[in-house]
Copies of this chain bind each other. A is one copy, B any other.
């Protein structure tokens, strides 16, 4: 009898640290990993603060602390009290897979279902939590294994690597230079609705005609046709492939 209990105790270490076929995370937990990914890897910061995560997710800081403790127990993040947080390899893997799913679904929504690029974010936010590797792979195949989503953001590949390109913000161009709009620095709804309205999108050719040093705005020519003014804020948000 005593032997039996001892046997049991010796083997009572944490199982999930050995068997990690597939950890089951709630959509909420996945969203935390995504937020941390965005604040660290994508923004190239060493670590994310509790407050930054709270702001990113629009929840109270106390809730974040709570969840960080739990994600830390699951070995998905590296977290020390008061010291900020970053992803461990296992957490990064899950986060990139989520970004991959999100951007593939956005591609599907725009290319196949003909949604506008400013309409797809919230829907993809839900679709990305559907759990099926087979689904993602077949979707990828069906869409022709795209490398960039409708906003020009890179779509992480199945192996976790992320396609890159050399892009230049429109604001860095000199008079006479031109390029093709290929990505955005960031994409708040307001910017995307604005670009849609003035008919600028991924693939649009933009040439700098004139620079106004008073407010850093510029006059540009769109697709060799229309002329227009772009503010500093907009020109800094547009990433071009130089032609």
Chain A residues near B (Cβ < 8 Å): 109, 112-115, 119, 122-123, 126-127, 129-132, 134-135, 138-139, 142
Q: A135 touches which one: B123, B131, B134, B139 (CB < 8 A)?
A: B123
CA distance A183 to B109 in the complex (A): 31
CA distance A135 to B112 in the complex (A): 11
Q: How many copies does the complex hold?
A: 2
Q: A127 touches which one: B113, B114, B130 (CB < 8 A)?
A: B130
A138 x B126 contact (CB < 8 A): no
A113 x B138 contact (CB < 8 A): yes
Contacts of A126 in B (CB 8 A): 129-132
| 10 nearest A-B pairs in the assembled complex, by CB-CB distance | A113-B138, A126-B130, A123-B132, A123-B135, A113-B142, A127-B130, A112-B142, A113-B139, A126-B131, A123-B130
Instruction: Tell me how far the C-beta of A151 lies from the nearest C-beta in chain B, rounded to whole angstroms.
Output: 18
Quick one: closest B residue to A126, CB to CB?
B130
Contacts of A130 in B (CB 8 A): 123, 126-127, 130
Instruction: Tell me how far the C-beta of A50 lies from the nearest C-beta in chain B, rounded to whole angstroms.
Output: 27
Contacts of A134 in B (CB 8 A): 115, 119
Instruction: Tell me how far the C-beta of A130 lies from the nearest C-beta in chain B, rounded to whole angstroms.
Output: 5
CA distance A142 to B114 in the complex (A): 9
Contacts of A115 in B (CB 8 A): 134, 138
